[in-house]
Amino acid sequence: MPNALELTGIRKTFDGFAALTDAHFSARWGEVHALLGENGAGKSSLMNIAAGLYAPEAGQLLVDDNPVRFAGPRDAAKHRIGMVHQHFKLVRPFTVAQNILLTAPPPPEFQSHGERLREISRDIRNKAAELGFDIDPSKRVDALSVAEQQRVEILKVLLAGARILILDEPTAVLTDQEAARLLQTVQGLARKGAAVVLVTHKMADVKTYADRVTVMRGGRTVATLNPQEASVAELVKLTVGESIAAQGFQPSAAPRGPVRLSVRGLRTPASPEGRRVLDGVDLDLHAGEIYGLAGVGGNGQGELAGAIMGLEGEPTEGEMRLEGHRDLKTMPASVRRSIGIAAIPADRYGLALAGGLSVAENYAIGRVHTGRYGPVWRLRRGRIQSDTQEAVRAFDVQGVRSVAQKAALLSGGNAQKLVLAREFGKSPTLVLAHSPSRGLDVRASAEVHARLRAARDSGAAVLLISEDLDEVLQLADRVGVMTRGRIAGEFAQPADRQAIGQAMVDHG
Taking only the tens place, the pLDDT of each residue in 55-73 is 999 999 999 999 999 999 9
Q: Are residues 23 and 161 in the same domain?
A: yes
Structural domain including 265 reads 259-507
Helices then strands, each counted (H, E), the chain:
16, 19
Average pLDDT over residues 39-66: 90
The Cα 226–Cα 207 span in angstroms is: 9
Q: Considering only residues 316 and 448, tell me which one the structure prediction assigns the higher pLDDT.
A: 448
Which residues lie below 8 Å from residue 379, measured CB to CB, with a gap of 6+?
Answer: 364, 368, 373
Number of folded domains in the chain? 2
pTM of the model: 0.62
Q: Are residues 140 and 279 in the same domain?
A: no
Q: How confident is the model at residue 392 (pLDDT cuts 50, 70, 90)?
A: very high
The Cα 77–Cα 54 span in angstroms is: 14
Residue 154: inside a domain: yes
Of 240, 270, 297, which residue constitutes the final position of a domain?
A: 240
Q: Are residues 157 and 221 in the same domain?
A: yes
DSSP three-state, residue 307: helix
Minimal CA–CA distance to 263: which of 311, 312, 305? 305
Q: Are residues 223 and 295 in the same domain?
A: no
Q: How confident is the model at residue 247 (pLDDT cuts 50, 70, 90)?
A: low
Give the angle subtended at the CA of 209 by the CAs of 203 and 215, to the nearest 5°: 50
Give the angle subtended at the CA of 293 by the CAs of 84 and 38, to the nearest 5°: 40
At 49 the pLDDT is 96
- Strand ranges, E, within 315-439: 317-322, 341-344, 430-434
DSSP three-state, residue 88: coil
Q: Are residues 292 and 236 in the same domain?
A: no
Residue 216: inside a domain: yes
Residue 105: inside a domain: yes
The Cα 359–Cα 342 span in angstroms is: 18
pLDDT per position as a tens digit, 254-298: 788 999 999 999 998 887 767 788 889 999 999 999 999 988 777
DSSP state of 47: H
Q: What is the CATH number of the domain that holds 290?
A: 3.40.50.300
Q: Are residues 201 and 347 in the same domain?
A: no
DSSP state of 52: T
Whether 174 has a pLDDT exceeding 80, the answer reads: no
The Cα 12–Cα 14 span in angstroms is: 7
- Strand ranges, E, within 324-364: 341-344
At 507 the pLDDT is 44
441 burial via Cβ count (<10 Å: 0-12, 13-18, 19+): buried
Q: Are residues 357 and 310 in the same domain?
A: yes
Q: How confident is the model at residue 15 (pLDDT cuts 50, 70, 90)?
A: low
| Integer angstrom CA distances of residue 87 from 168, 213, 408, 448 | 9, 23, 12, 19
Minimal CA–CA distance to 502: which of 249, 129, 177? 177
Residue 396: inside a domain: yes
The answer to whether the beta carbons of residues 63 and 79 sit under 8 Å apart is yes
Residue 249: inside a domain: no
Of 181, 212, 240, which residue constitutes the final position of a domain?
A: 240
493: left (phi over 0), alpha (psi -120 to 50) or beta: beta
DSSP state of 26: E
Identity of the residue numbered 143: A
The Cα 155–Cα 121 span in angstroms is: 11
- Kindly give the residue spans of alpha helices, DSSP state H, lying in 160-231: 176-191, 203-209
Q: Are residues 50 and 174 in the same domain?
A: yes
Q: Are residues 308 and 357 in the same domain?
A: yes
Q: Are residues 233 and 312 in the same domain?
A: no
Pairing of strands 461-465, 430-434: parallel
Whether 116 has a pLDDT exceeding 70, the answer reads: yes
Whether 236 has a pLDDT exceeding 60, the answer reads: yes
The Cα 343–Cα 88 span in angstroms is: 21
Ramachandran angles phi, psi of 123, nearest 5°: -60, -40
At 508 the pLDDT is 39
Q: Are residues 195 and 275 in the same domain?
A: no
Residue 252: inside a domain: no
Pairing of strands 461-465, 290-294: parallel
Residue 246: inside a domain: no
The answer to whether the beta carbons of residues 199 and 43 sit under 8 Å apart is yes
pLDDT per position as a tens digit, 205-223: 899 999 999 999 888 999 9
Q: Are residues 361 and 490 in the same domain?
A: yes
Residue 204: inside a domain: yes
